[in-house]
Structure 1
Amino acid sequence: MIEPAKEIDLDCLHLDVRNPRFGLLKAQDEGEALAILIDAANIKELWASIAARGFERFEPLIAIADEETPGHYIVIEGNRRLAACKTLSDPDSLGARRIKLPVLREEVRRQISTLPVVVVANREEAEAYIGFKHVNGPQTWDSLAKARFGVHMLENVDDHRPLRERMLELTQKLGDSRGMLLRVFVAFKIYEQAILEGIVESISINNQKLEFSHLYTMLNNPPSREFIGLPITALSEESVVDNPVPMTHLDNLRDLFGWLFGPTSVIKRQGSDRPRLQKVMASREGIEALRSSNDLDYAFATAGLARDDWTEQTHRCAAIAKNIDADALEVLEGMDEEEVSQTRATLARAKLYLDSVLAKMGPGSG
């Protein structure tokens, strides 16, 4: 049972260095956490809002007792608002940063000397609330923060239920399928490993602009899993482990991270390039071509995939044309003259393209 909010002195409230909002930028202390929020969480708009209208008290912070300091609390929900209030109240906390803070009216300064806080017994007690609000509610986190939150819940050492049962609960709380969550969680573990092994730093990956979805989408593809040493069989709860990529495949992991996230990433068009990269990674010739050129188009063609893709499109074209022909009489009955004219023009253009292809194929190909 969550208790009603109470007012707590600002000086007794502390930032949470384990806050998933930080992604993998794990702060070592509160000062570092504050610096991360200032740099990454865009609290400038909060400074202006609080200075102009005061602190909106309808939504309290969520905190747990600080076990090391009686009477003090660690805020696990609302760190961005807490950071804004702390810096407005004490501009010296900005350190050497040359940031001009708005001037506070004395009324507002007194108002933020205490903040409304709901104190809970532990982190787990607040997880259902946090999960709704930030994972599928109105104030969403990015996918990397969601992944960290979900993995923390799955690995909760105080929860002695079977992993499959915990995962089922997570699918209900987070609103995603089991398969989707498994890919996200394993991808998170892989990303942690890439940081630990220095891959992220060596490739100069920008954590703040990371397209984390690239990684967990790749894990849906068995050849992509095999490329980094994961089993080609379906992922399971037991796949969510520390350092899932074998040491023998770290070079492949480095290649994959470069192709997905590096300064010369081959992913330019998300809808088409990720599937093409998956196909290339299923081909030894394609992988070698991509390694030597970092050119996805060249690797795709070298592996013969451009030819296969083109041939597949011709089969789809024929199937679509067959369906259009089968439905023509029924659909045409309900179309007016202008719609029929537009459709005729569209089909005429399509015929021109197909005639051009047949011509390029030479005599006897029709």
Structure 2
Amino acid sequence: MIEGVPRPDRLFEQVPFIKYENRAEVDAFLGFRHVTGIKEWAPPEKAQFIAKLIDEGGLSYRQVMRKIGSKTDTVERNYIAYCILTQMEETEGLEVDEVENRFSVLFLSLRSKNVQEFLGVQGKFGIEPQNVKPPIDANNIDRLKEYSKWLFGDADTPPVVQDSREVDKFARVIASADGLEYLRSVRRPSLDKAFVIAGGDQEEVYELLSSATYNLQESLSSIHLYKGDERLISISKRLLANAEQLKKTLELD
């Protein structure tokens, strides 16, 4: 006790509390603490809570955003991802245990327009949540099964996407006819190989060559000062050899 401060009556006999009539009255606190706060739930639990606020509470995305302190587009993507998970649980022939364990992969993949178009859910974004269900139309169920197998695997094959950081690469692959054909025809496809087949490394090649060109241009401003340097001569010979190979590969005059 602090000297000079009287001890409250029944100090160790009662615990102070605030009583609410029902759970709905503490939803804002739960959402802020466990969805965007310091005691975060796992991704599927966050999405489930958001879905509860919408489905049972009748809230809009914006109202949920205000209640839990998140962004509206994040709320929307969580809700649609959870609706897809629920539909997968109800779809015959789909194993969803791993989907629940890697829900963040499902959530992150929906950022991509390519994934949205592949699953046919692009029209489910930007509308009222009450009109989202079912997120996957009947004519896209086969694609949903393919998507689930490639992202989460099944009893016979591991997932093509091993990490949530690979979802952008996967999105590039499924936008390519050649990339899709590879995924569908190979028993155990490799995402890296599918990415190359889909032409996904083309931008990387552009960037590498552009950087090399700019670096060479910059070095030419002072390279004449070190004409006799043996190390510089050795590096320059390698550069010329690579440039000659580039010329042959691209059939440059």
Which residue number corresponds to residue 256 of structure 1? Answer: 147
Which residue number corresponds to residue 185 of structure 1? Answer: 79
Instruction: For 1:217 and 1:358, locate their aligned partners in 2 and report how far apart those are by CA, in whole Å.
Output: 43
Considering only aligned residues, what root-mean-square deviation do their CA atoms show, in Å?
3.7
User: Bigger shift: 236-245 or 135-144?
Assistant: 236-245
Question: Alpha-carbon deviation of 1:225?
Answer: 1.5
- 1:190-201 superposed matches below 5 A: 190-199=84-93
Quick check: 1:280 aligned with 2:173?
A: yes
Q: C-alpha deviations, 1:248-271, integer Å up to 9, x for none?
A: 111110110111112410112432
Aligned length: 224
Question: Alpha-carbon deviation of 1:132?
Answer: 1.6
- 1:9-158 superposed matches below 5 A: 118-157=18-57
Which residue number corresponds to residue 184 of structure 2? Answer: 291
CA gap of 1:310–1:282, structure 2 versus 1, over 3 A, is closer
Instruction: For 2:216 and 2:44, locate their aligned partners in 1 and report how far apart those are by CA, in whole Å.
Output: 47
**Residues 135, 141 of structure 1: 8 Å contact kept:** yes
Secondary structure of the equivalent of 1:120? coil
CA gap of 1:310–1:300, structure 2 versus 1, over 3 A, is closer
Give the TM-score taking structure 2 as reference length. 0.71
Q: Which runs of 5+ in 2 are unaligned?
A: 1-12, 220-230
- 1:266-277 superposed matches below 5 A: 266-271=160-165, 273-277=166-170
Instruction: For 2:151 and 2:107, locate their aligned partners in 1 and report how far apart those are by CA, in whole Å.
Output: 11
Question: Alpha-carbon deviation of 1:320?
Answer: 3.9
Question: Alpha-carbon deviation of 1:239?
Answer: 7.1
Instruction: For 2:163 and 2:240, locate their aligned partners in 1 and report how far apart those are by CA, in whole Å.
Output: 26
Instruction: For 2:147 and 2:205, locate their aligned partners in 1 and report how far apart those are by CA, in whole Å.
Output: 31
CA gap of 1:286–1:322, structure 2 versus 1, over 3 A, is closer
Residue 206 of structure 1 aligns with an amino acid whose one-letter code is E
Question: Alpha-carbon deviation of 1:123?
Answer: 2.1
Instruction: For 1:211 and 1:324, locate their aligned partners in 2 and report how far apart those are by CA, in whole Å.
Output: 42
Quick check: 1:205 aligned with 2:97?
A: yes
Question: Alpha-carbon deviation of 1:282?
Answer: 1.2
Which residue number corresponds to residue 208 of structure 2? Answer: 317
Which structure has greater strand proportion? 1
Question: Alpha-carbon deviation of 1:319?
Answer: 4.3
Question: Alpha-carbon deviation of 1:203?
Answer: 3.1
Instruction: For 1:268 and 1:282, locate their aligned partners in 2 and report how far apart those are by CA, in whole Å.
Output: 19
Instruction: For 1:127 and 1:351, locate their aligned partners in 2 and report how far apart those are by CA, in whole Å.
Output: 68
**Residues 258, 265 of structure 1: 8 Å contact kept:** yes
Which residue number corresponds to residue 245 of structure 2? Answer: 359
Instruction: For 1:214 and 1:122, locate their aligned partners in 2 and report how far apart those are by CA, in whole Å.
Output: 34
**Residues 169, 200 of structure 2: 8 Å contact kept:** no
Residue 228 of structure 1 aligns with an amino acid whose one-letter code is L
Instruction: For 2:139 and 2:240, locate their aligned partners in 1 and report how far apart those are by CA, in whole Å.
Output: 49
**Residues 36, 68 of structure 2: 8 Å contact kept:** yes
CA gap of 1:316–1:176, structure 2 versus 1, over 3 A, is farther
**Residues 108, 164 of structure 2: 8 Å contact kept:** no
CA gap of 1:194–1:158, structure 2 versus 1, over 3 A, is closer
Instruction: For 1:153 and 1:182, locate their aligned partners in 2 and report how far apart those are by CA, in whole Å.
Output: 12
Secondary structure of the equivalent of 2:134? coil
Q: Which runs of 5+ in 1 are unaligned?
A: 1-110, 329-344
Q: C-alpha deviations, 1:256-293, integer Å up to 9, x for none?
A: 0111112410112432x312211121123322220221
Instruction: For 1:153 and 1:229, locate their aligned partners in 2 and report how far apart those are by CA, in whole Å.
Output: 25
**Residues 28, 68 of structure 2: 8 Å contact kept:** no
Which residue number corresponds to residue 95 of structure 1? Answer: none
Give the TM-score taking structure 1 as reference length. 0.51
Instruction: For 1:326 and 1:185, locate their aligned partners in 2 and report how far apart those are by CA, in whole Å.
Output: 51
Residue 297 of structure 1 aligns with an amino acid whose one-letter code is D
Instruction: For 1:274 and 1:190, locate their aligned partners in 2 and report how far apart those are by CA, in whole Å.
Output: 17
